[in-house]
């Protein structure tokens, strides 16, 4: 018997498996939060009739991907704007 992989919700810490992908209520919950596999990789549910599965979005792990060095120039502008707004209040 094949072991069922458990996927964890990043906000609620709910646990999901591929058998729940076609359950309408579970699917809506899955889509409302980031999902992680046991290696802390971001995954998304795939509603393939023949083989429902969770597909990895990125090969890097969450903690390695997110950090203080953001290459996107928009990120710096948004952070500066947020700091100004927070200091104004």
Cα–Cα nearest to 56, from 40, 43, 39: 43
Under a CB-based contact definition with an 8 Å cutoff, are residues 30 and 52 in contact? Answer: no
Under a CB-based contact definition with an 8 Å cutoff, are residues 18 and 42 in contact? Answer: no
- Residue 85 tokens read as 């707004």
Cα 45 from chain centroid (whole Å): 10
**Where do the structural domains in the chain lie, given as residue ranges?**
7-88
CA gyration radius, the chain: 17
Q: What are 32-85's pLDDT values in tens digits?
A: 999 999 888 889 999 998 999 999 886 555 555 555 555 667 777 888 888 988
Q: What is the pTM of this model?
A: 0.59
Q: What are 1-31's pLDDT values in tens digits?
A: 445 589 999 889 999 999 999 999 999 999 9
């Amino acid at each position: 018997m094949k072991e069922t992989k458990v996927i964890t919700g990043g906000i609620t810490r709910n646990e999901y498996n591929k058998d729940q992908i076609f359950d309408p209520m579970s699917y809506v919950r899955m889509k409302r939060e980031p999902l992680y596999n046991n290696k802390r990789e971001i995954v998304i549910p795939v509603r393939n009739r023949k083989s429902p599965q969770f597909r990895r979005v990125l090969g890097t792990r969450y903690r390695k991907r997110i950090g203080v060095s953001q290459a996107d120039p928009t990120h710096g502008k948004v952070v500066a704007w947020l700091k100004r707004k927070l200091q104004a209040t």
